[in-house]
Structure 1
Amino acid sequence: MNSSATSRLVVGDRFRDFAEAVGAETFSRLARSLDAGDLDAVEGPLRVVTGQGVGEFEISYLEDAVRRRQLDDRIELVHSAGQPARRQELHKAREDNVLIAGLTQVDDTAYEAALRLHDHNELLVDVQDRVHVQGMVAVEAARQMFVAVVERYFTARWPQQRYYIVLNSINTTFSNFLFPVGATVRLTVDESEVSEPSRLTFRTTVEVEQAGRPAAAVTIDAAAFAPGLLEEKELRRAKSAVASTMDAALAIA
């Protein structure tokens, strides 16, 4: 980063291979440069654009570092991911694992959100050693988009109930690599049946788009069940699975 630059991309430390490949900064490297005064001579204006892995927590640190070095008039942080989808909409217990932010309704059948990757997301902590992001991120983002849309815009009509969402099928086609920068997740409701509150059914198409190109398309066929409809069947099959396992183990013994 130098005084002649007008913009710079910063990504989470998890994406250091990507940063090295494209000449971007990682969060830790940029933070160290700011704290050490390495950027005090920058003439600006310099716009630092945040990619994946850099959230509000990290941005707050960078903003503080810029203020302390009195660089407010020369360095601007650009971040526009939007608010992460809420826990009750995604059935996720950790914010680290939320992949959807800024969810909005476009029209009666179309919904849109930004892809949001935390640096400690469950799909990245085991291995992220390529320039691109692994395909399972797109699949999980599509699944989360489906759950969030169903919870916010459909099951919310019956707020006294907490629905169980059951996937019948999920099919994915990959078109391009996905990289740790901004991407858009779009969901279209192709078919739905929501006249019976105890059982809602949906067929949707979710597309993950980046830089104007599709990265993945995911079709999801699923249903949302009101409490009480699945427990008996689930418990019966759970007991059957245990019995089968025990019988097999005794047969070996």
Structure 2
Amino acid sequence: MGETHVWVVGDCFARFTGNENVMTTAEVSRWVRSRTTESDARGMVLHPALGVDRAMWRELARTVSRAGLEQVVLPQGAPPEPVGRHTVLKQQQDNVLVGDPHVSGNEVTGALLVPNDTEMLRDHTADQQHIPGMLLIEAVTQLITWAVGETVPPTADGTPRYAVMHRLRTEFHRFVFPLPVVLRARLTRDGEATDERVPLTAQVDIEQAERVTTACEIALNAFDPDAVFTVEAGQASKTVLRTAPVPGEAA
């Protein structure tokens, strides 16, 4: 009996299961529990895709084991390990979209993560089977944020740098679906560095099935956090003064 290879996606991507050999975690669990004997189950090799984290994958493996089907239902591989939320400036771990990052020279690669319950999917109203563009841009931003913290030398007093973008150009070439995705960034110095800031440019490609689906060009500075927060505070104060209501004018 031949094997059937199945991509397992999170329940948030149920729409995508209209494609052949794609199932949600819930569908796989129901299918496993419905098998009464090993002979009642065909050989199935499961591969984790988007919307599936490591805890969900372990639970799926336990479901297979409890059903006594380890010889015919084979979970392979594991979802990427997400970076810590603080390294990409997120308040909630469920909003982290980058995993398994790796630095080689001036190139940084990572895997796209899409947690099953991230608010960035819950708040997207288009009922489609592709990954929303706004989520892809956020993933690119997170990869660059992580890369600056890991690859740009700190300030003279050892403070890690803070990435601030001032230009972003994005081209969407193809839809991105809830299957494995690679994020590939190349950072280049773009001017004279000071202790206050390091000017950089970045080219980030989002790749799926060995094709570039999305390309981003980014201009940014790796700032001393104190310096950029001082700039921010000064601009905030001036903006408040310039938008102050004029006495006597109607609201």
User: If the length of structure 2 is used for normalisation, what is the TM-score?
Assistant: 0.88
- Contact kept? 1:21, 1:131, Cα under 8 Å: no
Partner of 2:215 in structure 1? Answer: 217
| Pair 1:109-2:106 in alignment | yes
Letter aligned with residue 113 of structure 1: G
Size of the aligned set, in residue pairs, is 249
Structure 2 Cα separation of the partners of residues 118 and 225 of structure 1: 30
Partner of 1:201 in structure 2? Answer: 199
Query: What do residues 208-237 of structure 1 show as CA deviations (whole Å, max 9, x unaligned)?
Result: 010111110001100121133133332222
The alpha-carbon distance between structure 1 residues 109 and 36, as it changes in their structure 2 partners (threshold 3 A), is: same
Query: What do residues 99-139 of structure 1 show as CA deviations (whole Å, max 9, x unaligned)?
Result: 11111123x22121111111122321123511211112221
Structure 1 Cα separation of the partners of residues 94 and 19 of structure 2: 25
Which runs of structure 2 are paired with 1:1-253 in the superposition (5 Å)? 5-37=3-35, 40=38, 41-44=40-43, 46-106=44-104, 108-127=105-124, 129-155=127-153, 160-192=158-190, 195-247=193-245, 251-253=249-251
The alpha-carbon distance between structure 1 residues 78 and 118, as it changes in their structure 2 partners (threshold 3 A), is: same
Structure 1 Cα separation of the partners of residues 247 and 5 of structure 2: 63
Structure 1 Cα separation of the partners of residues 99 and 192 of structure 2: 25
The alpha-carbon distance between structure 1 residues 158 and 95, as it changes in their structure 2 partners (threshold 3 A), is: farther
The alpha-carbon distance between structure 1 residues 167 and 116, as it changes in their structure 2 partners (threshold 3 A), is: same
Task: Point out 4+ residue stretches in structure 1 off by more than 6 angstroms.
Answer: none
User: If the length of structure 1 is used for normalisation, what is the TM-score?
Assistant: 0.88
Query: What do residues 69-116 of structure 1 show as CA deviations (whole Å, max 9, x unaligned)?
Result: 11112221123443212223211122211111111123x221211111
- Contact kept? 2:49, 2:79, Cα under 8 Å: no
Give the SS at the match of 1:251: coil
Letter aligned with residue 121 of structure 1: T
Superposed CA RMSD: 2.4
Name whichever of 204-213 and 34-43 sits farther off.
Answer: 34-43
Query: What do residues 140-162 of structure 1 show as CA deviations (whole Å, max 9, x unaligned)?
Result: 11111111111112145868314
Letter aligned with residue 175 of structure 1: H
Give the SS at the match of 2:121: coil
- Show structure 1 runs of 5+ residues with no match: none
- Contact kept? 1:205, 1:219, Cα under 8 Å: yes
Structure 1 Cα separation of the partners of residues 159 and 212 of structure 2: 36
The alpha-carbon distance between structure 1 residues 12 and 159, as it changes in their structure 2 partners (threshold 3 A), is: farther
- Contact kept? 2:6, 2:22, Cα under 8 Å: yes
Structure 1 Cα separation of the partners of residues 182 and 95 of structure 2: 17
Structure 2 Cα separation of the partners of residues 159 and 73 of structure 1: 57
The alpha-carbon distance between structure 1 residues 236 and 251, as it changes in their structure 2 partners (threshold 3 A), is: farther
Structure 2 Cα separation of the partners of residues 156 and 82 of structure 1: 28
Letter aligned with residue 226 of structure 1: D
